[in-house]
């Protein structure tokens, strides 16, 4: 049994006590790191909660956060000050008020170190020591998962919320399990004979978690401990990804600006001789970290970086790139809530075409904004030239173009309850074929001729002329 006071006696952790001296005999069952403003749904009691206080903006935030910890009966809160500020007084007051012991973490001590040290203390059984040895040896996630499967006596997998199998064998139910995970009221959750455990949260969002899947029903503590160790492996992977992505920001900057040093940036990233695609992604609520996580999971080899609220990626071209991103988005969609994620993907290009590819990806994404659904992935090679051109035209200008060319017909339809605009659209879609358009509209050809003639009279144009058809077709597409 690990007591809170024992943590204060570990010299390597250098933790200091702010409040709760009379509550140091509380038992610590596990470590849980969070930046959620209210993490209660992920707490089961006995946790040492680690937080960098990214959620803190004022006294009410402290009250909400600490109240949720108290309600969940956590062992205590270990919070990290920053180089610029100490722990907020309102946080200390809230911990006193709700009887939550508050420990301060030194600025130079990582939460990963605390997690590893506390986990090591908790796992008194040889089974757990063996798993920790796998982590300490740096054997990697596959080896850890294999050892975990052996120790738990159950098959184990790690999934991303895009449905990617991060580690473990083939899992046919992976998409259904991700959906259950994203929609679960509480976690861990047992479904279809499998236990789903969150591995870690990135940016406080379940969508960016990994999922530990354990075949069968196991002790929650054992699954949680394995998930905690998998979280350490994820942290190592994330740190490696950060190192790889150091070349992403200058590369994307060079792509967007058409910089002369683009070739050297590509060489630094190992992409100098490859066919490439540029990807542009945004969310409707400007969460760049979510858009970045989606692209990193869907395209593990891509270089990803945010530029303001937009996330750009440069990836080696492949016919499957649009489908890979589309499939990832389809799997994640149940967890998006009211958010929309929009992705534009350029056609494959060489290094000389990258700036144009970035513009194409942006226009493709903007075209997706006009379509329905919580997710939309549009690839440059999938859209017609006129759609790509119109996507780059500001909304105000598109509306002005539509009004200028179609105004009299729009007004006539509004006044008479007719649908001359619909007739015009079908007529043009049928390339001006009277017979085909009449058949599609289920009217006599003479009726169609009358309606088209009315459109011509209202607009003062002749639809027999190719230029007139092009202008009106673009006006219809602009709406």
Q: Do residues 63 and 79 both lie within one domain?
A: yes
Q: Residues 422-437: what's their mean pLDDT?
A: 89
- The percentage of the chain sitting over the pLDDT mark of 70, rounded to a whole number, equals 94
Q: Is residue 428 part of a domain?
A: yes
Last residue of a domain, one of 208, 242, 276: 242
- The percentage of the chain sitting over the pLDDT mark of 90, rounded to a whole number, equals 31
Q: Residues 169-176: what's their mean pLDDT?
A: 91
Query: Chain centroid to CA 76: how far?
Result: 31
In degrees rounded to 5, what are phi and psi of residue 25?
Answer: -90, 10
For residues 31 and 381, the model is more confident at 31
Report the CATH number that the domain containing residue 371 is assigned in CATH. 3.30.70.270
Helix (H) or strand (E) holding 191: strand 189-191
Q: Is residue 202 part of a domain?
A: yes
Q: Name the pLDDT band for 188 (thresholds 50, 70, 90).
A: confident
Last residue of a domain, one of 391, 410, 444: 391
Q: Do residues 108 and 158 both lie within one domain?
A: no
Report the CATH number that the domain containing residue 180 is assigned in CATH. 3.30.450.40
Q: Do residues 192 and 154 both lie within one domain?
A: yes
Q: Is residue 132 part of a domain?
A: no
Q: Is residue 123 part of a domain?
A: no
Q: Do residues 220 and 253 both lie within one domain?
A: no
Q: Do residues 288 and 256 both lie within one domain?
A: yes
Q: Is residue 349 part of a domain?
A: yes
Q: Do residues 308 and 173 both lie within one domain?
A: no
Report the CATH number that the domain containing residue 43 is assigned in CATH. 3.40.1390.20
- Please compute Rg for the chain using Cα positions: 29
Chain mean pLDDT for the chain: 86
pTM of the complete model = 0.57
Whether the pLDDT of residue 300 is over 60: the answer is yes
Q: Do residues 250 and 379 both lie within one domain?
A: yes
Domain span at residue 407?
Answer: 395-477
236-269 pLDDT, tens digit per residue, is 887 777 777 778 888 888 888 877 788 888 888 7
Confidence at residue 127, expressed as pLDDT on a 0 to 100 scale: 67
Give DSSP secondary structure letters for 152-184: HTS-EEEEETTS-EEESS--TTHHHHHHHHHH-
Confidence at residue 208, expressed as pLDDT on a 0 to 100 scale: 81
Q: Do residues 266 and 383 both lie within one domain?
A: yes
- Cα separation, 316 vs 318, whole angstroms: 7
Q: Is residue 133 part of a domain?
A: no
- Cα separation, 108 vs 476, whole angstroms: 60
Nearest C-alpha neighbor of 42 from the set 198, 227, 181: 198
Helix (H) or strand (E) holding 215: strand 210-215
Q: Name the pLDDT band for 394 (thresholds 50, 70, 90).
A: low
Q: Do residues 284 and 384 both lie within one domain?
A: yes
Last residue of a domain, one of 331, 356, 391: 391
Give DSSP secondary structure letters for 25-55: TPEE-EEEE---S--GGG--SSEEEEE--TT
Q: Do residues 156 and 48 both lie within one domain?
A: no
Q: Do residues 323 and 267 both lie within one domain?
A: yes
Q: Do residues 410 and 315 both lie within one domain?
A: no
Report the CATH number that the domain containing residue 431 is assigned in CATH. 1.10.10.2840
Whether the pLDDT of residue 467 is over 70: the answer is yes
Q: Residues 189-208: what's their mean pLDDT?
A: 80
Q: Residues 409-424: what's their mean pLDDT?
A: 90
Confidence at residue 125, expressed as pLDDT on a 0 to 100 scale: 43
Q: Is residue 128 part of a domain?
A: no
Q: Residues 446-468: what's their mean pLDDT?
A: 88
Confidence at residue 447, expressed as pLDDT on a 0 to 100 scale: 92
Whether the pLDDT of residue 319 is over 80: the answer is no
**Total count of domains within the chain:** 4
Q: Is residue 122 part of a domain?
A: no
If DSSP codes are grouped into helix, strand and coil, which group holds residue 349?
Answer: strand
């Amino acid at each position: 049994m690990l007591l809170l006071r024992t943590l204060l006696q570990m010299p390597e952790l250098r933790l200091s006590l702010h409040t709760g001296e009379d509550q140091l005999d509380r038992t610590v069952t596990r470590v849980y790191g969070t930046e959620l403003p209210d993490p209660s749904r992920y707490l089961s009691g006995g946790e040492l909660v680690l937080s960098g206080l990214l959620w803190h903006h004022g006294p009410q935030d402290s009250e909400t956060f600490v109240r949720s910890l108290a309600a969940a009966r956590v062992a205590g809160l270990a919070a990290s000050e920053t180089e610029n500020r100490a722990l907020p007084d309102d946080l200390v007051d809230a911990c006193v008020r709700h009887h939550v012991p508050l420990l301060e973490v030194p600025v130079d001590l990582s939460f990963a170190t605390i997690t590893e040290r506390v986990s090591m203390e908790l796992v008194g059984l040889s089974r757990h020591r063996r798993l920790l040895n796998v982590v300490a040896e740096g054997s990697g996630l596959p080896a850890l998962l294999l050892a975990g499967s052996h120790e738990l006596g159950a098959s184990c997998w790690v999934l991303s919320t895009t449905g990617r199998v991060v580690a473990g064998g083939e899992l046919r139910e992976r998409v259904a399990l991700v959906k259950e995970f994203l929609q679960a009221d509480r976690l861990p959750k047992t479904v279809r004979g499998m236990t789903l455990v969150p591995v870690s949260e990135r940016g406080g969002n379940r969508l960016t978690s990994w999922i530990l899947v354990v075949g069968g029903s196991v002790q929650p503590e054992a699954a949680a401990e394995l998930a905690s160790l998998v979280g350490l492996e994820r942290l190592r992977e994330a740190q490696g990804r950060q190192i790889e992505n150091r070349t992403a920001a200058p590369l994307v900057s060079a792509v967007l600006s058409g910089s002369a040093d683009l070739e050297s940036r590509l060489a630094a990233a190992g992409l100098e001789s490859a066919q490439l695609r540029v990807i542009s992604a945004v969310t409707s609520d400007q969460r760049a970290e979510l858009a970045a996580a989606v692209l990193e999971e869907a395209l593990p080899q891509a270089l990803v970086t945010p530029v303001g609220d937009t996330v750009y990626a440069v990836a080696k071209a492949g016919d499957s790139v649009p489908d890979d991103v589309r499939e990832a988005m389809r799997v994640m969609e149940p967890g998006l809530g009211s958010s929309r994620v929009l992705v534009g993907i350029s056609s494959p290009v060489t290094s000389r075409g990258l700036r144009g590819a970035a513009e194409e990806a942006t226009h493709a994404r903007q075209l997706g904004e006009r379509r329905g659904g919580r997710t939309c992935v549009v690839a440059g090679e999938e859209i017609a030239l006129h759609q790509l051109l119109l996507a780059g035209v500001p909304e105000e200008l598109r509306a002005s173009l539509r009004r200028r060319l179609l105004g009299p017909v729009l007004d006539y339809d509004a006044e008479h309850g007719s649908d001359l605009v619909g007739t015009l659209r079908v007529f043009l879609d049928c390339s001006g074929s009277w017979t085909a358009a009449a058949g599609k509209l289920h009217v006599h050809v003479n009726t169609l001729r009358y309606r088209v003639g009315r459109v011509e009279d209202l607009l003062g144009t002749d639809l027999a002329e190719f230029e007139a058809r092009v202008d009106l077709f673009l006006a219809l597409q602009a709406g």
